Each structure stands twice: as C-alpha cells, then as structure tokens.
Structure 1
Amino acid sequence: MIGFFHHYFVEPFASLIHLTASFFDGSYGMAIIIITLVIRLILSPFMLKQYKNQQQMRVKMDLIKPEMDEIKKRMKEEKDPAVQRKMQQEMLELYKKHNMSPLSFGCLPILIQMPILMGFYYAIRGSKEIASHTFLWFNLGHPNIILAIVAGIIYYLQFKVQQSNMPKAQAQSMKWMGLISPIMILFVSINAPAALPLYWSVGGLFLIGQTLFAKAYLTKKEPEKAIQT
C-alpha cells in the first residue's frame, strides 16, 4: 500500500515540482506556490459544493431549532433511560423529516483531496533539491519560526471564516477545533522544512478567499432552496 501511494502520488508530484520550478529559473518556492494554487483550483468545485451544503444545513437547523430545543429540554428533565432513548429517536426522526444528515456537510471533498494533498506533502518533504533551496528570506529545507507562526495564524483565520457559515450548534461544538488545528500546524511547522508551512500558508489563504467569495456571490438563493428541500 505504501509503495502504491508513493508510486502514484508522491513521485508524480515530485516530478511536477521539478518541472514547474524549471519555468521559474529553478525556484522551488514559486513551484510550490503555483502547484498549491492549481491543486486548490481543481478542488474548488468540490469545496464550493460543500459550502452550499453547509449553507443549506444552516438554514434547516434554524428552521427546526424550536423543535430541537423542546426535545433537548424534555431530555434534560427526564431521568428514565428508556424514555431518553425514545426522545433521541424522536430527534433522529426530526432530522430525517427535514432530509438532514451529517453527510450533508460534505465528506466527499475531504476524501477526494486527502491523497492529493498528502502526496504533495511527502513530495515536498522528500526532495533533496528543495531541501537545499533558498526562497525569499528562508531556506526551504530548514525550519523557519516566522513562517510556522504565519501558517498557524492563517489556518486559525481560515477556520473562523469557515465557522461563520456553520449552524450555531455545530460551530459551538467545533470551536476547540479552531484552536487545535492551527496549534498542530504550528508545532509541526516549527520542526519541519519551511517548504511545508509555505505550502500550508498558500493553501490556507486560498481557502479563505474561496470561502469569502462563496459567501458573497454563491449563496444568495440558497436559503429559499434549503427551505423548499
């Protein structure tokens, strides 16, 4: 399995990085930026579909909130486990009635992009040429604390922008993820070659712009559609 992944994902991306760098006077930093943007552009249709699904879910959650609050209130007051299970089933029926499911938030874009992004990640990490290349003020093969902090901040901002489109209940339950994910990226970046936080920073900035674009231009008619479905 590891050999399959390396042959069909890592090696092609490594070749692509070298080929792209040849068009920019051997600049692997520019190659990483260009390929990151191209990958994100290719994935954009899936991510925008996910955004629309989240928008529809938010509208539906607002619609059923009074009923949900009533069921939750009765569950808190009820002590009998059997009755509580019945109320949980009532909650599931409410979701079913409004055609709602956790999958409505869009797992497919994540599943599609993971092997692509991981292949790109390991192609950057395993390249000796990148490890010895200098881009802007930093060496791509050595850790850079400033770039690591920038990557962490960008991913925190990216989560906050994405969180603004989530239903309130989901946004509340995922608020810790907004801290955990950037902190993980920061700690990994501190000890990783600077090429990796560069890749994360460019990708994070693209996602912020993509989400703001979708929010401004692609969801004007979504509330009506969500209520009708």
Structure 2
Amino acid sequence: MIDFFMSLLRPIQHVVAWIMVRFHELFTALGMDADGGPTWALSIIGLVIVIRIVLIPLFVKQIKAMRGMQVIQPEMRKIQQKYKGKTDPASRQAMQQEMMALYRESGTNPMASCLPLLLQSPIFLALFYTLNGIKDGNGIGALTDQLAAQARDATLFGAPLSATFWGDKSDPATAILTIAMIVLMSASQFITQKQLMAKNTSSAMDESNPFAQQQKMMLYLLPVIFAISGVHFPIGVLLYWLTTNLWSMGQQFYVIRRMPSPGSLAEKELEARRARKAARRGTPLSLSKDAPAAGGDAAPAADGSSNGQPVRRSGQRQQPRRNDRNRRTRPGTPPASGGRTR
C-alpha cells in the first residue's frame, strides 16, 4: 500500500523538484551562491508562489462555496429541527435527501471549501519526501544527487534545511530556528482565522450556528496541530509551510477588504470607505444599493417618479427650452409645426 501511495506521489515529486531547480538556477544566475542556504530557501519560497498562483481559481471556488453555505444555514437548521430526535434509518435518509436537494437548489457544495487544502496536501507530501531524500543525498528528476547534496549541506541561519528538531536536538541553531518558525506558523494561522471570524462572518450567524462553531474550533485547533507536528518536519518543509501561511493571510486580508461577505462587518467598513472616497471626490456614494446617492435626491421623471438623475440644487431657475428656439430656417424649408412666419 505504501509503495502504491509513493508511486502516485512520484510524478508530483518530479514537478516539485523541477520547479525548485529552475528557481535555484535563476537565483544562481543572479549572482547568489549556488551552495548557500538562502538560494535554496528562496527556491522553496518560489515553489510556494507558483503553487499558490495555480490554486487561485480553486480559492475563488472555496470562497463562493463558504458564502453559499452561510446563506443556506437557516434552511439547514430548519431541516435539522424537523428531524430532531428521529434516529430511525428512514428519517435519517429523508434528512440527507432534503439536505442534498437544498445543496442542488442553492448550487453549493460542502466539499468545495476543502478542495484547495485537499489538492495542496499531495504537493506538501511530495515536498516532504523530496526534502527527506535530500537529507540522505538522494535526488529525484531534475534534482540530481549532486544538487541534493548541495541542498543537504546548505544552511539557513546556521541550521541545515534538511534538519529536524527531534533529529538534531543537540544543534541549538536548528532548535531555535524550528521553534521560531513554528511560532510564526501558528501566529499567522491564528491571525488568518481570527480576522475571518471577526470581520467576514455574516451578522446573521450566531455562536450556536454549526459553521460558526467550526470556525471557532479551527481558530484554536490548527495552531496546536502546527506546534505538535512541526517538530517532526525538516526546516525546508517548515519554510514552505510558513510561506504558504503568510500567503494565505495576505490573500484572506485582500478578500475581506475588497470582497467581504454580505452582512459582515467588513462589508460595512467597505461601504464606509467607498462613501468617504466618493465624498472627497465630490460625488457622494450611496451606502445602500437601493437608496439614492447620499447628499442628493433623485430627479423626478414625467410621472413624478425618480429616474436616478441628481437634482440641480442651485437657486437659479431653470428656463424651459424649445426645440425650435435657435433653429435657423433655410430658404424653401417650411417652418416647424406651431411656429410663426414673418
């Protein structure tokens, strides 16, 4: 079973190794030391950037799926209350069928929110096994044995990239760097989840909501997972993990600031920023999609209704205009209807 799993990861390992080697060649061409730890560390960071750019479409789907799940939470609670206390197989099957029908009608997919993480896991495992192979001087694909030996001996702040906390406890540089990276990983994950809960959660969701409870659990659980598992990973893997966490934090900050969830605190802050910006330009912006522009009324149409055009508020009276007022009559052209001839 393990051999079969490794055979599935091997093509991904070849891709990971190829990307790392290409970045290593790029930084070496820019004058960096080919044997240096910073060169290989930047190669791993470049690998993260490539992977996260590829995953952006999946991240967009994840955001849409999460917002779709928030929208249908009230309907889901109604279905759950309907079958509350009913443990017979028929009732459970009926509840599942109604849930699936709700997902189809709303166009949501609960698995879509986990898809980017699931697709990134094989890449993470491929990098883990690739760096473990580097520790023994074993290359793969474009990462030859000679390059693997370079990466194995490369150090970052005095700690080898292939070293682990438990494997090199006697090395203070490895221990200090590992602990520092684990703390940064946990902090970045906590900040990302905290800002998601504080600003990008709909005000209609209370603490009893299952989705809100899940977010709260992830807020404290994921940093603990990083702290426990991080001591077993090579520094190169921790660097990959830290970089992708920082990317996620920045990406989440951008989404919350520019594309907040409906009804959230972030949406109110976005509307307030737009209103202030419009006010500085002298074109007040409505804080609501349906209300007229702030500071101005809508111009009445012929039937007395508003047609969305701003009203001129100056004290000068508007003179009525006639279509034929300034029209010049050419020789041989009959006058306009209702006009007078001289």
What is the TM-score when the length of structure 2 is the normalising length?
0.53
Q: Are residues 1:10 and 2:13 paired?
A: yes
CA contact (8 A) 2:181 2:239 kept: yes
Mapped to 2, the partners of 1:39 and 1:215 lie a distance apart of 22
CA contact (8 A) 1:151 1:198 kept: no
Among 117, 122, 130, the alignment partner of 1:115 is: 122
Among 160, 173, 183, the alignment partner of 2:194 is: 160
Cα drift, residue 29 of structure 1: 0.6
One-letter amino acid matched to 1:38: V
Unmatched 5+ stretches in structure 1: 224-229
Mapped to 2, the partners of 1:9 and 1:74 lie a distance apart of 45
Aligned pairs for 1:161-200 within 5 A: 161-163=195-197, 165=200, 168-200=209-241
By relative contact order (CA 8 Å, sep 6+), the higher-ranking structure is: 1
CA contact (8 A) 2:72 2:106 kept: no
2:81 maps to what in 1? 72
CA contact (8 A) 1:54 1:104 kept: no
- CA distances 1:68-116 after superposition (whole Å, capped 9, x unpaired): 26953883xx5x755x964883585266245376536434434433323
Q: Percent identity?
A: 20
Aligned pairs for 1:21-170 within 5 A: 21-24=24-27, 25=32, 26=34, 27-62=39-74, 64=75, 68=77, 72=81, 75=84, 81-82=87-88, 86=91, 89=94, 93=98, 96-97=101-102, 99=106, 103=110, 105-128=112-135, 129-136=150-157, 138-142=159-163, 143=165, 144-163=178-197, 165=200, 168-170=209-211
State how many pairs are aligned. Answer: 216
Cα drift, residue 173 of structure 1: 3.4
Cα separation, partners in 2 of 1:155 and 1:95, compared to 1, 3 Å:
same
Mapped to 1, the partners of 2:230 and 2:92 lie a distance apart of 46
1:227 maps to what in 2? none
Q: Name the Cα RMSD after superposition.
A: 3.4
What is the TM-score when the length of structure 1 is the normalising length?
0.74
CA contact (8 A) 2:134 2:152 kept: yes
Unmatched 5+ stretches in structure 2: 136-149, 166-177, 265-342
Among 211, 221, 227, the alignment partner of 2:252 is: 211
